[in-house]
Amino acid sequence: MKAFKIFLYSALITLSLSVSSCSDSFFETSPAGDLTGDETFASTKNIDALVNGTLRYLMESSTSQDNPGLGAIILTQEVMGDDAIARDGVYGFRDSYPYKDPYDNTTRRALFFWTLQYKVIDNCNNILANTDAAVGTDAEKNYLKGQALALRGFVYLNLVRQYQFTYAKDKNAKAVPVYTEPTSPASQPKPRATVEQVYQQVISDLTQAESLLNGFVRSVKNRPDVNVVRGLLARTYLTMENWTAAAEKARQARTGYPIMEAQQYLQGFNDVSNTEWIWGHPQTADQNLGGASYFAYIDVTPSTGYRSIMPDPYFRNLFADGDIRKSLFEVVTSSSDPMYRWIKYKKFVNKTDKSAHIVLMRSSEMALIEAESKARLHDPQGAVSALNELRVKRGLATLSAADFTETALIEEILTERRRELWGEGFRLPDLLRLQRAPVRKESTETFLVNGTNVLIKGHYVIKFTDGTSLVPNSPYYLFPIPDNEIKTNPNL
């Protein structure tokens, strides 16, 4: 751990030298200047550049083409489920799909996932430790600290759900270390905190952030504001099964962000200007990582890019006729196409200059959290009301609470989460919090070519690497603490 801490400490200074100073905008590209040592924290303007650089680091840092920042974690969590498949023989996530990587703690991906997130935490800790002494107004300081707390809470929520089973299963299980102070070469490495302790830290961070960001008006949706914080609290309470708090925070989070109209769903999920995007990562073409980018793997429409992430044929069958989302599926029937026999799902389409934005939170997710929470609180009418807000915007008829038992209603809402949030990183976290196993079945669907039935491609890995069946709460679903960290932190 000591070597890791030194790396974190030096990375902060390097980052402060290289980030773009954008003051809430990713679209300005002038350098932050030669900020070193105390200069980094001398003023709120400099710290604002560091906040911006930290966000860019989380989203854009890569150690290889298949590790495009947070996008790599999002896509890994999709292909480790059941509704998405990493196309066979194609670069990127072919080892995550069969639970080989990141389950193996010696891989570069295992190391990347860990260090990426802990570096962000260390930057947040430095911002929190140094902002009060900076030159600037009290409001500016509060907003900077609020953003750092929101980002730290976001990362710890990710970590606790990636490295240990869900809160309801065993809140006393050991999860990940919690650091709330800047690290230095002299810092002592921490042991793993319990699941409950990490969640307490997340709630503390986000609650403080909610207060400090009161009145903060961002100019670009990359910055966490009060709505983002409330959305993160909704995710946290949903996983903890605090249904009342989850429903309330979800309702608050989506205030001012109406669910997009049906035709907007067809526009490629690539711009933060979308009315229902609460939080997203904008970028210009020169900030795009090329092959090492989220869209290089999930956009199946171009002739370039890896086009690695495909939908399961059974996933397509979850959509009813008339659902605008169903029109995004296309079976590849041309044998000359390298994607022959796969189904394309054209939800995510990069911009022509390869500058597509990455969605991090939408009001549709919040409506579904509200619906699920109310259903579990024995409020079927409230649950159906929230669910119908989404359904009518996807071209579907409204549902009636009278048509469902409580269990059936909850299942319908969970299925709607699968339909609506595909590709956004929710499938594996949902399976873990629900303590369910992925359902992977070989495809039986065909299409007709010259009078012959041709099998559509689907899941080709339906067991774990040891040959056993997919089951709930398997360690194969958990990300591993990397071998490097275990060797250098004796307190783990």
Beta bridge partner(s), residue 449:
452
| pLDDT over 50 (residue 300) | yes
Please report the pLDDT score of residue 304 as a whole number.
Answer: 78
Q: Read off the pLDDT of residues 210-251 as tens digits, 9 standing for 90 and up.
A: 999 999 999 999 999 999 999 999 999 999 999 999 999 999
| pLDDT over 80 (residue 111) | yes
- Please calculate the CA angle 62-66-71 and round it to the nearest 5 degrees: 70
Q: Read off the pLDDT of residues 336-365 as tens digits, 9 standing for 90 and up.
A: 999 999 999 999 999 988 899 999 999 999
pTM (predicted TM-score): 0.93
The mean pLDDT value for 50-66 works out to 93
CB of 435 within 8 A of CB of 169? yes
What pLDDT band is residue 289 in, cutting at 50, 70 and 90?
low
The mean pLDDT value for 265-294 works out to 87
Please report the pLDDT score of residue 246 as a whole number.
Answer: 99
Among residues 246, 312, 344, 351, which one has the least CA distance to residue 83? 312
The mean pLDDT value for 3-14 works out to 39
| pLDDT over 80 (residue 92) | yes
What pLDDT band is residue 165 in, cutting at 50, 70 and 90?
very high
Please report the pLDDT score of residue 291 as a whole number.
Answer: 67
Cα–Cα distance for residue pair 25/282, rounded to 1 Å: 9
What pLDDT band is residue 9 in, cutting at 50, 70 and 90?
very low
Q: Read off the pLDDT of residues 384-397 as tens digits, 9 standing for 90 and up.
A: 999 999 999 999 99
- Both tokens of 120, joined, read 């962000």
The mean pLDDT value for 139-162 works out to 98
The mean pLDDT value for 372-383 works out to 98
Which contiguous run of DSSP H or E holds residue 448?
strand 446-449
CATH code reported for the domain at 41-488: 1.25.40.390
| pLDDT over 70 (residue 485) | yes
Alpha helices in 32-191 (DSSP H): 44-60, 70-79, 108-130, 138-163
Mean of all residue pLDDT scores within the chain: 91
Please report the pLDDT score of residue 10 as a whole number.
Answer: 35
Q: Measured over all CA atoms, what is the biggest interatomic distance in the chain, rounded to whole angstroms?
A: 76
Looking at residue 216, its amino acid is F
Please report the pLDDT score of residue 53 as a whole number.
Answer: 95
What pLDDT band is residue 288 in, cutting at 50, 70 and 90?
low
| pLDDT over 50 (residue 129) | yes
Task: Say which range, 201-205, 207-211, 336-340, 363-367, has the weakest mean pLDDT.
Answer: 336-340
What pLDDT band is residue 31 in, cutting at 50, 70 and 90?
very low
| pLDDT over 60 (residue 6) | no
Cα–Cα distance for residue pair 233/50, rounded to 1 Å: 24
- Please calculate the CA angle 475-480-482 and round it to the nearest 5 degrees: 160
Among residues 273, 345, 283, which one has the least CA distance to residue 310? 345
What is the percent of the chain with per-residue pLDDT over 90, rounded to a whole number? 85
- Both tokens of 440, joined, read 């992977």
Please report the pLDDT score of residue 287 as a whole number.
Answer: 66
What is the percent of the chain with per-residue pLDDT over 70, rounded to a whole number? 91
Please report the pLDDT score of residue 303 as a whole number.
Answer: 77
What pLDDT band is residue 81 in, cutting at 50, 70 and 90?
very high
| pLDDT over 70 (residue 7) | no
| pLDDT over 60 (residue 284) | yes
- Break the chain into its structural domains and give their ranges: 41-488
